[in-house]
């Protein structure tokens, strides 16, 4: 890996892998895939988002938000998320707003959606059950989506 843990597969795609220990179980590794789609940046997160990995995720999301394009964070492959992970999403959402953009989360997993409701993060970060739901909510042609 290069560039502080970031490896670019293509100019429009980047992958970040963070692990809490030298010999992590696959579920403990946080993987972040970034794809630049028309109208938004799709950030697919997989694995555990916890105290050990949340700072790296937040750093990447904040960097992406600074570009001013809307972010869509897909959490469907997240196996665990704690308060640090939720805080990383909230901080990135604030940063996106400060740069005239937005951050939305896609997640169909009941447990994760429940955490968003319990913490009221769903009042700050809009949730969608699927990418298809986000595409259905897109404004008329000519306006930037998300």
pLDDT band at 145 (very low <50, low <70, confident <90, very high): very low
- Top-confidence range, 11-15, 20-24, 47-51: 47-51
Residue with tokens 């959606």: 113
Q: CA-CA distance, 78 to 135, in Å (whole number)?
A: 22
Q: CA-CA distance, 11 to 20, in Å (whole number)?
A: 28
pLDDT > 70: percent of the chain? 75
**46-92 residue pLDDT tens:** 999 999 999 999 999 999 999 999 999 999 999 999 999 999 999 99
Q: Which domains does the chain have, with CATH numbers?
A: 6-136 (3.30.750.24)
- pLDDT attached to residue 14: 52
- pLDDT attached to residue 108: 94
In b/e form, how buried is each residue of 13-44, taking b as 16+ CB within 10 angstroms?
ebebbbbeeeebeeebbbbbbbbbeeebbbbb
**85-104 residue pLDDT tens:** 999 999 999 999 999 999 99
**Paired strand residues for 32:** 16, 45
pTM assigned to the model: 0.78
Residue with tokens 């042609």: 141
């Amino acid at each position: 890996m290069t560039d502080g843990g970031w490896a670019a597969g293509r100019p429009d795609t980047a992958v970040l892998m963070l692990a809490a220990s030298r010999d992590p179980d696959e579920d403990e590794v946080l993987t972040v895939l970034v794809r630049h789609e028309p109208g938004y940046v799709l950030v697919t997160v997989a694995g555990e988002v916890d105290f050990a990995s949340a700072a790296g995720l937040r750093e990447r999301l904040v960097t992406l938000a600074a570009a001013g394009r809307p972010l869509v964070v897909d959490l469907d492959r997240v196996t665990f998320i704690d308060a640090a992970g939720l805080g990383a999403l909230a901080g990135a959402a604030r940063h996106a707003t400060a740069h005239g953009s937005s951050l939305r989360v896609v997640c169909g997993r009941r447990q994760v959606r429940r955490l968003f409701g319990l913490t009221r993060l769903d009042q700050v970060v809009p949730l969608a059950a699927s990418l298809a739901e986000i595409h259905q909510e897109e404004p008329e042609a000519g306006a930037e989506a998300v």
